[in-house]
Amino acid sequence: GESVGLHLPTLSVQEGDNSIINCAYSNSASDYFIWYKQESGKGPQFIIDIRSNMDKRQGQRVTVLLNKTVKHLSLQIAATQPGDSAVYFCAETPNSGNTPLVFGKGTRLSVIA
Amino acid sequence: GAGVSQSPSNKVTEKGKDVELRCDPISGHTALYWYRQSLGQGLEFLIYFQGNSAPDKSGLPSDRFSAERTGGSVSTLTIQRTQQEDSAVYLCASKTGGAKNIQYFGAGTRLSVL
């Protein structure tokens, strides 16, 4: 099992500032990536996705950046709000079909009002 | 519309007992997944269904774990002779038959084995 599971990386951000959450993925064959947000007591909620033929994709207040050279993914949240406080997971999959997602360990975002 | 529904939301059981966890996917979603999330950790894949068939059950940790899906809808995850290490949140997700692999999750069942 995982040895660091109880100690999620934590990012503390002042309300109104921008947040950047990072994720390193392991499978160079992965070509589809998703960011999920998980609030306490709830299941993961889809935020934004990106295919490997892109390096940037924007949504509402969120931007995902993909660097395939170093196998790195980031999620940027603009003007962070208290409601953004949650654990954020990146997920990867070798294709965009039905294969199971492989999740990262997660980062806890704490917004300071 | 309704999301993925899981029941029970919480289950406390004694070591050695069997438990059944239920998942109702979003109507019309053809693929269904079970994941496990231990305290403070990421999600670990268990099994997935395409229709009523399970093309990938590679994540089931032991033969005490099994799952079935009937009518292309409801799925049940069964854990026999539960052990303390089975304590976790069991999450179910479903997706449409479309190309994008966006999986929609239920709130999970928190299983505590005493």
Q: Nearest Cα to B30, choosing from B90, B104, B89?
A: B104
Calculate the average pLDDT of chain A: 90
Whether the predicted pLDDT of A4 surpasses 80:
no
Residue A68 has pLDDT above 70, yes or no: yes
Chain B residue with minimum CA distance to A87: B40
pLDDT greater than 70 at residue B74: yes
Question: In this complex, is the C-beta atom of B4 within 8 Å of any C-beta atom belonging to chain A?
Answer: yes
Q: What is the pLDDT of residue B42?
A: 83
Q: Which of B41, B59, B101 sits opposite A96 (nearest CB)?
A: B101
Whole-number pLDDT of residue A3: 32
Cα separation, B75 vs B52, whole angstroms: 9
> Which residues touch B94 (CB under 8 Å, ≥6 apart)?
B4, B23, B25, B26, B29, B31, B32, B33, B103, B104
**Chain A interface, Cβ < 8 Å to B:** 1-2, 5-8, 32, 34, 36, 41-46, 49, 89, 91, 93, 95-106
Do B35 and B28 touch, CB atoms closer than 8 A?
Answer: no
**Is B43's CB within 8 Å of A99's CB?**
no
pLDDT of residue B97: 79
> Is pLDDT at A7 greater than 70 in this prediction?
no
Q: Which residues of A touch B50 (CB under 8 A)?
A: 98
